[in-house]
């Protein structure tokens, strides 16, 4: 087993070494000095047209909101959270004031799974402050933010959000998990 592992490491290191190149030093075969090729100034000023990569596609703020949300859910289900984050962000970029809360809530949930509590709280706060979130979802957002704050031991903020969620009509069953006095 150790022999097999050693051979694998050896081949991997050889492969990595083979992909590195020595710096260009000229033609030593006939001992004439050759400089590196230079580009014309005209070539430098012209933009290079290349094929679009997936990353460029993900960054473009175009597309149908619902289509982008569906793509984000697909990536989320495949556990490709970075792509899902990109699709949620693109959906947010093309959203209307009435639909932005959906992208923010979805992305905040994703950030929660990714354990990026600061970004999750920021998205939830943006959605809450927007004034366009329906009351039922608003109560759930307050509760989601309260759970994150409680996890981070910010009980004053957490309890304040629980009180707001209850004032919006969230049942006591859904406010469990955050102990407030």
Which of 112, 120, 164, 172 is closest to 138 using CA atoms?
Answer: 164
Q: Is residue 127 part of a domain?
A: no
pLDDT digits (tens, 9 = 90+) for 76-97: 999 999 999 999 999 999 988 8
100 falls within a domain? yes
Residue of 134, 108, 121 whose CA lies nearest to 161: 121
For 110-154, write each residue's pLDDT tens digit. Answer: 999 999 999 999 999 999 998 888 888 899 999 999 999 999 988
Whole-angstrom distance, CA of residue 99 vs CA of residue 96? 5
**Angstrom distance (rounded) from CA 107 to CA 120:** 7
Quick one: angle between helices 135-151 and 155-167, nearest 10?
160
pLDDT tens digits, one per residue of 24-67: 444 444 454 545 545 555 545 555 444 455 555 555 445 788 99
The alpha helices in 60-154, defined as continuous H runs, are 65-77, 81-94, 100-113, 117-130, 135-151
Q: For residues 141 and 147, give the distance between their C-alpha atoms in angstroms, rounded to a whole number.
A: 10
Does any domain span residue 61?
Answer: yes
Asked if the structure places residue 82 within a domain, the reply is yes
Token pair recorded at residue 23: 């710096």
Range of the domain at 89: 52-114
Residue 10 belongs to some domain of the structure? no
pTM (two decimals): 0.63
Within-domain flag for 64: yes
151 and 124 in contact (C-beta within 8 Å)?
no
Domain-embedded: residue 135: no
In a domain, 34, yes or no: no
- Domain count of the fold of the chain: 1
């Amino acid at each position: 087993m150790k022999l097999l592992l050693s051979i694998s490491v050896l081949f991997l290191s050889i492969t990595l070494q083979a992909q590195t190149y020595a710096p260009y030093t000229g033609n030593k075969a006939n001992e004439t000095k050759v400089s590196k090729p230079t580009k014309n100034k005209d070539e430098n000023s012209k933009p290079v047209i290349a094929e679009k990569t997936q990353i460029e596609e993900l960054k473009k703020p175009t597309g149908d909101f619902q289509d982008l949300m569906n793509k984000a859910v697909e990536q989320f289900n495949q556990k490709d959270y970075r792509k899902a984050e990109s699709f949620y962000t693109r959906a947010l970029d093309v959203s209307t004031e009435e639909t932005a809360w959906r992208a923010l809530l979805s992305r905040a949930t994703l950030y929660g799974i990714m354990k990026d509590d600061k970004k999750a709280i920021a998205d939830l706060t943006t959605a809450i402050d927007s004034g366009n979130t329906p009351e039922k979802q608003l109560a759930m957002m307050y509760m989601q933010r309260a759970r994150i704050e409680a996890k981070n031991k910010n009980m004053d903020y957490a309890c304040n959000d629980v009180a707001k969620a209850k004032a919006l009509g969230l049942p006591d069953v859904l406010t469990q998990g955050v102990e407030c006095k």
